Amino acid sequence: MFAEFTEALFSIFFVETLINGLLLGGVLALLSLGLNLIFGVIDVVWICYAEIIMLGMYTIYFLHVDGGMPLILAAACGVGVTALLGWLTHRLVIGYLLQAAPINQLLATGGLLFFFQGAAMVAFGIEFRNLGVSLGSLAVSEDIYLSWTRLLSFAIAAGVVVVLYQFLSRSYLGAAIRAISQDREIMILMGVNTKKLYLLTSAIGGGLAGLAAALLALQYDVHPFIGLSFGPITFMVCVMGGLGNMVGGFLAAFVFSELITIGGYFAELEWGYVLAFAFFIAAMFVRPEGLFARKS
C-alpha cells in the first residue's frame, strides 16, 4: 500500500498532475481577480459574478457558433458585454445600496444571480452548448500531454495579472482605485469623482469575467447553471486569499487548484473538490481572515 503510494508520487503522471494543477490555477486566479477587485474597491461581494461569466460564455457561443464570428472577435465582444453588465450592475443596483447594510447588498446581488440564471433559462433553454473548438494538446514528452486550452488559459490569465498589476501600480486611475478602498470619503479632496470610479471598477471587473468566460468556454459546455459549478470555488479562493486582497487571491487560486488536481489524481476528481473544500473549512478555523490576509 505504502509502496504503491510512493510509486504514484514519483510517477511521471504525478508531475503532469502538478502541472495541470498549475494551469488550472491560472484560470481560478483570473476568476478571483475581478471579484476581488470589485470587493476591494466597493466593499460589496458580487454573488452573481459567476453568472456574469455565464452570460459572457453565451455571448461568445452565439457570436461564434451562430454568428460565424471568428473566435477572437467573439471573445472580445464577450468581454465588452460583461463589462457592460458589470457597469449596469453598479449603475442600476449596487450604486443605490452603498450605504445599505451588507446583508441587503448580498441579498441584492444574490437576487441578480437568480435573475441572470432565470433570464438565461428563458432565453436560451437548459440545453448544454459546446463551442466545439478543440486546440489539441502539446506532447511535452512521450507520457506527458498538456492541453493547449489550459496552457493558453494560463498564459492569458498570467498576462492579465501582469497588465492589471501595472495598471494599478503605475497609472493615476490605478492609484485612485487603490486609494478609494482605503478612504472613500476624502477622494473628493483629490478631485476624484467616486461614482465614476466605481462604475469604471465595475466595468473592469465585468470585463475580467468576460475574459474568464472566453477561457472557460473552451473547456466547458455552456448552460444556465454553469455559474454554480465555479461560483462557489471562486468565492472560496477569494475568501482564503483574504477578500479584496488580490495577491492573496492569486496565491490561494494555486493552492486550491493543486489540491483539486492532486485529490483527483489519487482518487476521483470529485474527491479533489472534497479535499479542497475540507482544506478551506480547516483554513477558516485557523485563519478566519484568510490565509494570506494582511495583518490589520
Q: Where do the H-state alpha helices sit in the chain?
A: 2-10, 12-42, 49-61, 71-88, 102-124, 148-170, 172-180, 194-219, 226-241, 246-266, 269-286
Nearer to another protein, 134 or 171 (CB): 171
Nearer to another protein, 183 or 221 (CB): 183
Nearer to another protein, 188 or 267 (CB): 188
Nearer to another protein, 178 or 287 (CB): 178
Nearer to another protein, 181 or 229 (CB): 181
Nearest-approach distance from CB 186 to another protein, in angstroms? 5
Give the DSSP H or E segment for 138: strand 137-139
Q: What is the DSSP string of 9-63?
A: HHSHHHHHHHHHHHHHHHHHHHHHHHHHHHHHHH----TTHHHHHHHHHHHHHII
Cα 160 from Cα 252, distance rounded (Å): 17
Nearest-approach distance from CB 80 to another protein, in angstroms? 25
Contact status, residue 214 vs residue 82, Cβ threshold 8 Å: no
Residue with C-alpha cell 488580490? 246
Nearest-approach distance from CB 255 to another protein, in angstroms? 24
Nearest-approach distance from CB 182 to another protein, in angstroms? 5
Q: Which residues bind another protein (CB under 8 A)?
A: 172, 175-176, 178-179, 182-183, 185-194, 294
Cα 248 from Cα 45, distance rounded (Å): 16
Nearest-approach distance from CB 296 to another protein, in angstroms? 10
Nearest-approach distance from CB 181 to another protein, in angstroms? 9
Burial of 23 (0-12, 13-18, 19+ CB in 10 A): buried
Contact status, residue 227 vs residue 269, Cβ threshold 8 Å: no
Nearest-Å Rg of the Cα atoms of the chain is: 20
Nearer to another protein, 192 or 203 (CB): 192
Nearest-approach distance from CB 247 to another protein, in angstroms? 12
